Structure 1
Amino acid sequence: MADAPETLLITLTGRDRPGVTSSTLATLALAGVDVVDLEQIVLRGRLVLGLLVTAPADPAALRTAIEETARALEMSVEIESGSGDRPRRSRERAHVTVLGTPLKAAALAAVTRRIASAGANIDRIIRLARYPVTAFDLHVSGASPDVLRTELAAEAAAQGVDIAVQPENLLRRGMKLVVMDVDSTLIDGEVIEMIAAHAGCEEEVARVTEAAMRGELDFEESLRARVKLLAGVPASALDEVYESLHLNPGARTMVRTLRRLGYRFAIVSGGFSQITDRLAQDLGIHYARANELEIVDGVLTGNVVGEVVDRAGKARALREFAAELGLTEASTVAIGDGANDLDMLAAAGLGVAYNAKPAVRSAAHTAVNVPYLDTIMYLLGFTREEIEAADAEAGIVTPAPPLL
């Protein structure tokens, strides 16, 4: 007589209804087996329930009992036997987050092929969001995050999707400090150009700003040259600029949701404290650092006061804020779009290039090219459903998603 198999894999599929899991487990309990692994998903009302159990003394009797249970539940069932040995897997594991608007099957197929070509295995896939972007979290084993990041960077560009690769560890959900650039990151547009409109030199300032963000000019030199053009603008123009600011979509959602979870926020800007301090107060942001415009007799002098917050200064601010909170740099997230954000992005545990210049996208840990700032939360492992549930508890009504 052949030896009994060491494990049985039982897979039930069919219309979801209450009692499927409990009925199946009750049948298994009568057989006295141990549950080794268990996973269940529901997709559009269809249930897939997989159970890996130790085989009983009488596998045939269990097979008959499970088949009877499945018939009573109007479910299909497959039972496979095998040895209890699990394939040896690499200790290296990663989360691969894929974002798209839309996310086409061809793009996902290309991404999964790349993962396979790196010698990695996809252990699990979780949907994080279906609107306004589609986002999936792939749990991958068998290849280092660095290898996967290299393999998938080219595919992301080819497919027009965003892909983030992060090590699987507790820090992913445990990051406690989020440091953001302001201009073209937290807000839509550049404050200095808005002020320049009051001085009649918006186009000239915009040209210099664009070159500086691409890394073609020294930031401090370019800032002082642009600010000099603002001499004579009344300080009251700063109030008008502030009232005209538009936050990027999802900014408030991200800040209020992560604040509930104990996250701390900082804004670090090459712009001006007269604007960023008010933004911080409005959004409940804990730290703010920016340049200070000199104002004398209610008029901008064309100078900045004190040390300029440049590329190195942004990274230094991140480290100082983290140290004040008792956090390591690995416990930080940095978000930015320009060349002066590069050191800050590199210093963070997760550096995100948000709708950034090409040189910044290629240097950052990951890039997000959709206009929704709250997609950053998907990189941290949060789902759209969790975010909306948190808002509902706070009495915030979320618009109903489109029917698909």
Structure 2
Amino acid sequence: MTVEPNLPLLIRVSGRDRPSLTRDLLQLLGSAGAVLEDMEQLVVRERLTLDVLVRLDGADDGVVRDVLFWGFQHGMKVDFERVASTSSRAGLMRHAVTVLGRPLTPSSLAAVAEAVAATGGNIDRIVRLATEPVTAYDLVVIAGDVEAMRRELGAVAQAERIDVAVQVNGLERRAKRLVVMDVDSTLIVDEVIELLADEAGCEPEVAAITARAMAGELDFEGSLRERVRLLAGLDEAAIDRVRARIRLTPGARTFVRTLKRLGFVVGVVSGGFTPFTDFLRVDLGLDHAHANTLEVRDGRLTGEVLGTVVDRARKAELLAEIATAEGVPLSQTVAVGDGANDLDMLAAAGLGIAFNAKPVVRAQADTTVSVPYLDAILFMLGIRGADVERVTAAENAVAAGRPVGTEVGA
């Protein structure tokens, strides 16, 4: 093959991966005087694909022959293609389309790809993020009509029963440094007020009010005060009994531990009560915890809530206050919740995630996670499963000997 001067050459190497292949090829090209313009490498199940774009002006005329011989020696397939040194895509904005499911089938991914193409987009790169507890992929997409793509992908997510998030694939995504969560039915499986009501013998009445409040049918503050009044006279010792009964959502410890290890600030804002959020703050090492204060007099609950109620508007205010205290712009925050009480907070955050949420919340959040694993949210942030595993292995001892706050299924 004759190589014309000044014409960039794309060298594609494929075959079984082994140590030093990339180094040896680059050394060969460097010794021949080739100028490196671009390079990408991917390994899937020990099969390597390596693309190297070089300029050969002034390079040894035998470089193509030498690369072919090197490939023959190592059992690698080598292809050459003359390409332009610059791409019409170079300056285009990329979006990260994160897809996760359990299972995540080829047909579901095909539907995602079809939605991207149908709205004028093109998939630039695909990276697998995880296989456990869910399967997750990041697609780097050059979008055509971004809003149309969001709508189409939303329809695909609903039809295929998967989760899809669309974010600008730039510094803003990688710079998110603060995560604030709801507690009941988000960080924990339970609704604490219903556990307290069970102790007081009025759980059915409280559960019915809670369901309507979380669906957005009732004013939160009014419904909270109504439920708390039903707890009047409950022995203060019931708080300790309920605290021992709460169950973390599967993946909650992994989620918080990974975020903390990566330098995130993590907090909770809850429409529940301080004895439980304070416990979780200590147990999980959270940075911030805000909730409502139950009035206790003579060892019994009075049925009243003290101070400002943490309602829908207050949650958004607390998110902003925490962000200000930590010096984090709201654009670099993530909020996670499941009920109507979380909507303002989800809207205010840079990324609002509806976690196993009520329909009214799913319809308004930036993205949804509908699998019952809190750590699946990590993949929406572009964090790979291998990184999560390393954090878990490094801090495995933390999970030993914990009498309460156990994750469901652990």
TM range (shorter): over 0.9
Q: Which residue of 2 aligns with 1:344?
A: 345
Structure 1 counterpart SS, 2:166? strand
Measure the CA separation in 1 of the matches of 2:95 and 2:56. Answer: 32
Q: Could you give the per-residue CA deviations for residues 20-54 of structure 1, whole angstroms, max 9, x where no partner exists? A: 11222122123311121111111112111111112
Consecutive aligned runs of 4 or more in structure 1 exceeding 6 Å deviation: none
Within 5 Å, which residues of 2 pair with 1:248-397? 248-396=249-397
| Superposition deviation, residue 164 in structure 1 | 0.9
CA distance in structure 1 between the partners assigned to 2:90 and 2:76 by the alignment: 33
1:194-217 alpha-carbon deviations (Å, 9 max, x no partner): 111112111111111111111011
Amino acid at match of 2:376: T
Q: Distance in 2 between matches of 1:2 and 1:313?
A: 67
Displacement, 1:224?
A: 1.1
8 Å Cα contact 2:354/2:362 also seen in 1: yes
> What letter is aligned with 1:272?
F
- Give the counterpart letter for 1:68 in structure 2: F
- Asked whether the equivalents of residues 228 and 303 of structure 2 are also in contact (C-alpha less than 8 Å), the reply is yes
Q: Cα–Cα, structure 1 residues 277 and 2, in superposed 2: closer, same or farther, change >3 Å?
A: closer
C-alpha contact 1:15 1:45 (8 A) present in aligned 2? yes
Q: Say whether the 8 Å CA contact 1:95–1:139 is kept in structure 2.
A: yes
Report the AA paired with residue 11 of structure 1.
Answer: R
1:340-380 superposed Cα distances (whole Å, 9 cap, x missing partner): 10000000001000000111011001100111111121122
The residue type paired with residue 129 of structure 1 is: A
Asked if structure 1 preserves the Cα contact closer than 8 Å seen for 2:119 and 2:145, the reply is: no
TM-score under structure 2 length normalisation: 0.92
SS at match of 2:205: helix
**Cα pair 1:291 1:304 within 8 Å, conserved:** yes
Aligned to 2:196: 195
Change (3 A) 1:150 1:15: same
Name the structure 1 match of 2:164.
163
Q: Is contact 1:93–1:145 with CA below 8 Å preserved after alignment?
A: no
Percent identity of paired positions between Structure 1 and Structure 2: 50
Q: Give the C-alpha shift of residue 57 in structure 1.
A: 5.4
2 CA distance for matches of 1:234 and 1:143? 61
* C-alpha distance in structure 2 between counterparts of 1:48 and 1:2, whole Å: 23
Corresponding residue SS for 1:363: coil
Asked whether the 8 Å contact 1:89–1:141 carries over to 2, the reply is: no
**What is the DSSP-based 3-state SS (H/G/I as helix, E as strand, rest coil) of the residue aligned with 2:124?**
strand
Matched residue type, 1:210: A
Tell me the residue number matched to 2:179.
Answer: 178
- Amino acid across the alignment from 2:202: C
- Structure 2 equivalent of residue 401 of structure 1: none
Whether the 8 Å CA contact 1:5–1:81 is kept in 2: the answer is no
Task: Describe the shift of the 1:96–1:205 C-alpha distance in structure 2 as closer, same or farther (beyond 3 A).
Answer: same
What is the identity, as a one-letter code, of the residue corresponding to 1:47?
A: L
Gaps of 5+ in 1: 399-404
- Number of matched residues? 398
Contact 1:5 1:82 in 2 (8 A): no
Once residues 68 and 397 of structure 1 are traced to their aligned partners in structure 2, the CA distance between those partners, rounded to angstroms, is: 53
SS, match of residue 323 in structure 2: helix
Moved more, 207-216 or 29-38: 29-38
Kindly provide the amino acid, as one letter, of the partner of residue 234 in structure 1: D
Residues 88-99 of structure 1: matches in 2 within 5 Å? 88=89, 91-99=92-100
SS of alignment partner, residue 19 of structure 2: coil
TM-superposed deviation, 1:144: 6.3
The answer for the alignment partner of 1:86 in structure 2 is 87
Whole-Å separation in 1 of the counterparts to 2:326 and 2:256: 18
| 2:51 corresponding residue in structure 1 | 50
Q: How far is the alpha carbon of 1:100 from its aligned partner?
A: 0.9
In structure 2, relative to structure 1, the CA distance for the partners of 1:88 and 1:395 (3 Å cut) is closer
SS in structure 1 at match of 2:363: helix
CA contact (8 A) 1:338 1:356 kept: yes
Higher alpha-carbon deviation: 137-146 or 27-36: 137-146
Equivalents in 1 of 2:113, 2:394: separation in Å? 37
CA distance in 1, matches of 2:10, 2:225: 68
Amino acid of the structure 2 residue aligned with 1:300: L
Q: Secondary structure of the equivalent of 1:274?
A: helix
State the 1:283 CA deviation: 1.2
In structure 2, the residue matched to 1:402 is none
**Structure 2 vs 1, CA of residues 88 and 180 (structure 1 numbering), >3 Å: closer, same or farther?**
closer
Deviation sequence 1:311-363 (CA, Å, 0-9, x none)? 00110110111111122111111000000100000000010000001110110
